[in-house]
Homo-oligomer: A and B are copies of this chain.
Amino acid sequence: MSADPIAFRKISKRSQNQKAILEAAEKVFAEAGFAGATTQLIADVAGLPKANVHYYFKTKEELYRRVVYNIFDIWMEAASAFDTELGPREALSRYIDIKMDLARSHPNGSRVWAAEILHGAPIIQDYLEGPLLEWSTDRGKHIERWIANGEMDQIDPAHLLYMIWSTTQHYADFGHQIETLNGSKPLSDEQWQAAKLSVKTIILRGVGLSPD
C-alpha cells in the first residue's frame, strides 16, 4: 500500500531536525555573522540541546557551509529564470521579478551570502570561479547578441548584471535600513510591488527597453 510508516518516520525525524537546525543557523548566521554566531544560540533557536546540533553537523563550519550551499542552490535555480529564449525585455523583467521575490522571501539567505562575499568568500570561492562565472559569461554572451541585434542599447553586460544583483539584493541585505527609512515599518505588499516596478522600470528603460 503506502510507504513504510516506520521508515518514513525515521527519515522524517532526521530531516526534520536537520531542517530545523539549518533554518535556525541561517537566521543566526545572518544576524550575527559566522564568528558571532554561537552553536548554543543556533541550538536554542532550533529548540534542541547544543550537543544534538553537533550530532547532526560535526562542526560550526560544516553547518555554515551547508547554509551557504543551500543559498547558492536557490540562487542558481532562480538564475534559470533568466531565459534567453524570451528576448531581453521579458528575460530581464522576469529575472528581476524573481530576484525581488527571493529578496523578500529569503532575506536571511541573501544576508549570509552577502557577508560571505564581504569577507572574501572563504567558503564559496570555488562556486564563484565555477558555476557563477560560467553562468555570467553565458548570459553575457546572450546580452551581447541582443545588443548586436539592436534589441537593446550598447551596455557592458557585466555591469548590467551587477546592477540587477545589487539592486534586488539590496532589498534583503539592507532591508533594515530600508525599513528604518520607511518609518521603521516593513514594506507592505503594495510597497513591494512598487519597489519591483521601480527597479524594473529604471533598469529596462536604462538599457533602452520599454518596461511595458
Q: In the complex, how many angstroms separate the beta carbon of A170 from the nearest chain B beta carbon?
A: 3
Interface of chain A residues 165 through 212 with chain B (CB within 8 A): 165-167, 169-171, 173-174, 176-178, 180-182, 184, 194-195, 198-199, 201-208
Bound CA–CA A206/B203 (angstroms): 6
A129 at the interface (CB under 8 A from B): yes
A5 at the interface (CB under 8 A from B): no
- Interface SS of chain A: helix
Question: Which residues from chain B contact A57 at a C-beta distance below 8 Å?
Answer: none
Bound CA–CA A156/B201 (angstroms): 11
Q: Are B166 and A198 in contact (CB under 8 A)?
A: no
Copies assembled: 2
Q: In the complex, how many angstroms separate the beta carbon of A88 from the nearest chain B beta carbon?
A: 13
Residue interface bits A105-125, CB-to-B below 8 A is 1, else 0: 000000100110111110001
Stretch at the interface among A18-26, A27-35, A42-50, A64-72: A27-35
Specify which of B156, B163, B184, B195 is in contact with A167 (CB 8 Å cutoff). B163
Q: In the complex, how many angstroms separate the beta carbon of A202 from the nearest chain B beta carbon?
A: 3
Question: Which residues from chain B contact A170 at a C-beta distance below 8 Å?
Answer: 162-163, 165-166
Interface centre among A36, A114, A169 (most CB of B within 10 A): A114
Given A36-B36, A165-B170, A169-B166, also A121-B198 (CB < 8 A):
no
Closest to A120 in B: B176
Q: Are A117 and B166 in contact (CB under 8 A)?
A: no
Question: Which residues from chain B contact A118 at a C-beta distance below 8 Å?
Answer: 30, 111, 114-115, 173-174, 176
A128 at the interface (CB under 8 A from B): yes
Bound CA–CA A205/B163 (angstroms): 14
Q: Are A199 and B159 in contact (CB under 8 A)?
A: yes
Top-3 shortest CB links A-B? A35-B36, A202-B206, A206-B206
